[in-house]
Amino acid sequence: MRIRTLAPLALAVTFACGEPATEDAAMTEDMADAEAMPDATAAMTEITDYWQTHFNMGHGSMVAGRFAEDGLLWGSSGAMLYGRDAVGAGLQARIDAEGSQIAIHPGETMGFGDQMVTRGHYVLTGTVDGAAVRNSGYYMALAGNMDGEWSLKGMVSNLDTPDQAMSAGEMMEMPEGMGGDLIQASGDYFATHYNMGHASMVANTFTEDAVAMMPGERAREGRAAVEEGLQAMFDAGVTFSGVSGWSAHELDEGHVVGIGTYGTEGADGAAGGHFAALYMRGEDGDLMVHWLLMGAHSAGM
């Protein structure tokens, strides 16, 4: 199956709440407490090394064992797996069907006491319908320290080049989300001002050094790149029909993590996908996007 992404012009989208914030300098001190921590970085590296080793050995259930009992895996195709058993079954099915092998390249990790958030890049190789395929993309993950052992609470991924061949997998019924209202104003602000052509206003709700990992392209860094992408996407006739926060919670007083879904309208018709984001609070309390990952769902999902 071919994964239908937004056009390559789907460059950078934000979900930040309230009026555009400009307090980047004021956030510097707050950010210092949540910089990449050696302990958190080492813990997340151990998890990803374990994932890569056992996935490549065909041990889907062992990989799933590093998830919390109610952990969530939201794959690049849009299929959501909820719960450790479902994650294990889904991973094993992919391994068995495609002979998949994975290479994981961890990026930055930020620690928040007994929780940590990370981002990175992966390359997945295998065979689909007898042909060798190579898929790649970005991921964001949230992990928690549970009785001295770090477990994945959630992992969300996308594809970074258009029209990659990948099985969609089985879509489970989404469980009831929690705390989505915490980031809902972010989506409402985005949809309103993006659809009015206010690219600069939307871009100003990103931190100066934000990282946007959008479907069908390499990651973009910095507010200027975000604004450029937003304007190009708007000029291409893409609008957003809605953004829905599904689940979110506070990591500490200055940081929020959340996931949700979105819909678009464009020349190719209606489309949609999922997102994960790490937000930072500005001096006035408004949320600013620091990391954003968006995945485009395959046709029919």
Q: What's the pLDDT tens digit per position in 149-184?
A: 999 999 999 999 876 655 545 555 667 778 999 999
Tell me how many helices (H) and strands (E) the chain has.
Answer: 7, 12
Residue in 10, 40, 15 with CA at minimum distance from that of residue 259: 15
How far is residue 299 from each of residues 100, 133, 156, 176, 215, measured CA to CA in Å? 22, 19, 19, 24, 14
pLDDT of res. 166: 53
Confidence of residue 4 (pLDDT cuts 50, 70, 90): very low
First to last CA, the chain: 12
How many Å apart are CA 173 and CA 33, to the nearest integer?
Answer: 38
The predicted structure's pLDDT at residue 22: 39
Give me the pLDDT at residue 273, please: 92
Question: What is the average pLDDT across 125-132?
Answer: 84
Which of the two residues, 212 and 1, has the higher pLDDT score?
A: 212
CB neighbours of 169 closer than 8 A, spacing ≥ 6? 75, 77, 79, 81, 90, 93, 94
Please report which confidence band the pLDDT of residue 77 belongs to, taking 50, 70 and 90 as the band edges: confident
Amino acid letter, 84: R
Q: 282: Cβ–Cβ under 8 A, 6 or more apart, which residues?
A: 21, 22, 23, 26, 27, 288
pTM of the model: 0.84
Both structure tokens of 96: 């068995």
Q: Note the helical H segments in the chain.
A: 24-32, 38-56, 60-64, 84-98, 181-195, 199-203, 223-235
Residues 6+ apart with CB under 8 A from 79: 90, 168, 169, 170, 171, 172, 301
297 pLDDT band, cuts 50/70/90, is: confident
Residue 13: the pLDDT is 31
Q: pLDDT at residue 301 above 60?
A: no
pLDDT of the residue at 65? 96
Q: Check whether 138 has a pLDDT greater than 60.
A: yes
Q: Tens digit of pLDDT for each residue in 6-63?
A: 332 232 333 333 333 434 444 444 444 444 455 899 999 999 999 999 999 999 999 9
Task: Kindly indicate the confidence band of residue 254, based on its pLDDT and cuts at 50, 70 and 90.
Answer: very high
Instruction: Work out the mean pLDDT of the chain and round it to a whole number.
Output: 84
pLDDT of residue 108: 96
- pLDDT 10s digits, 198-220: 999 999 999 999 999 988 889 99
What is residue 270's predicted lDDT score, i.e. its pLDDT?
Answer: 92
Taking residues 252-272, what's their average pLDDT? 94
